[in-house]
Every structure is written in C-alpha cells, then in structure tokens.
C-alpha cells in the first residue's frame, strides 16, 4: 500500500473562501500530481511537479495554484472558491508507477 496522504478528506465551504488541500507522500518520489475528477468520471490532470521548485500546469485549465517547497509535500490552493470548483481532487506521486492518495471531496456552496 502506497504512503500518500490527503487532508481534508471532505470539505464543505462557502463561495469566496480560500482553501488549501494538503498532499504528502513518504516514498521519496520526485514526481507529484493533482487530478480533478467528478464522481465516476475520467481524471483530469490540473498540476504536476517533477521535483522541488518545479510546478507545471496540466491538461485541464484550473484556477488553483500549487507549490513544491519540499519533496514530500505538494499542496493545492484555491484563492477564492466557487461552486464550479465542487469536485474530487486526487493527489498522486510516482517514480515509475503512480500511486494515489484517498482524495479530497470538495463542495463549494
């Protein structure tokens, strides 16, 4: 079982609030990823990182931002949450095989 953690698991928040979704891994992986996924639907890559101080935007445009100050930590921030941000956010890390965290379900009211 992969050691990758996400907090919070569930979040209900009002429009306009700033939120940070946390992701940490203890495997020493250089590569980390954030995906957005509506329930039962395909995954969309929104951000990725190949190492410390490296961040790139993914295939799906997102208003979120990420940082990678430490190898093990890859937080995602929404400066002003909107109902359209309601979704599930999956964090993953890899050397070769990609392992996923449990996800954060976000509901913006």
Could you give the string, one character per residue 3-22, with x where binding to other proteins holds by CB under 8 A and - elsewhere?
Answer: --------------------
Q: How far is the CB of 92 from other proteins (least distance, A)?
A: 8
Please select the residue that binds other proteins; options are 11, 13, 45, 52, rule is CB under 8 A: 45
Q: How many CB atoms lie within 10 A of CB 35?
A: 23
Q: Residue 25 or 94: which CB sits closer to other proteins?
A: 94
**Nearest C-alpha neighbor of 33 from the set 63, 56, 52:** 56
Both structure tokens of 29:
């992986």
Whose tokens are 């935007």? That residue is: 57
For the four alpha carbons of 13, 20, 44 and 88, in that order, the dihedral sign comes to negative
Q: How far is the CB of 18 from other proteins (least distance, A)?
A: 27
Both structure tokens of 102:
């449990």
Q: Residue 43 or 52: which CB sits closer to other proteins?
A: 43
Return d(Cα 62, Cα 45) in angstroms, integer: 9
Query: Using CB under 8 A as the criterion, which residues of the chain lie in contact with other proteins when the complex forms?
Result: 31, 33, 39-43, 45, 48, 50, 58, 90, 92, 94, 96-103
């Amino acid at each position: 079982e992969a050691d990758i953690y996400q907090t919070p698991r569930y979040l209900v928040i009002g429009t306009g609030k700033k939120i940070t979704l946390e992701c940490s891994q203890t495997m020493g992986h250089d590569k980390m990823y954030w995906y957005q996924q509506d329930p039962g639907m395909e995954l969309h890559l929104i951000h990725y990182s190949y190492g410390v101080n490296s961040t790139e935007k993914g295939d799906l445009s997102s208003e979120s931002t990420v940082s990678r100050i430490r190898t093990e930590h890859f937080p995602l921030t929404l400066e002003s949450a909107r109902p359209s941000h309601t979704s599930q956010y999956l964090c993953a890390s890899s050397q070769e095989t990609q392992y996923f965290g449990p996800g954060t379900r976000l509901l913006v009211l």
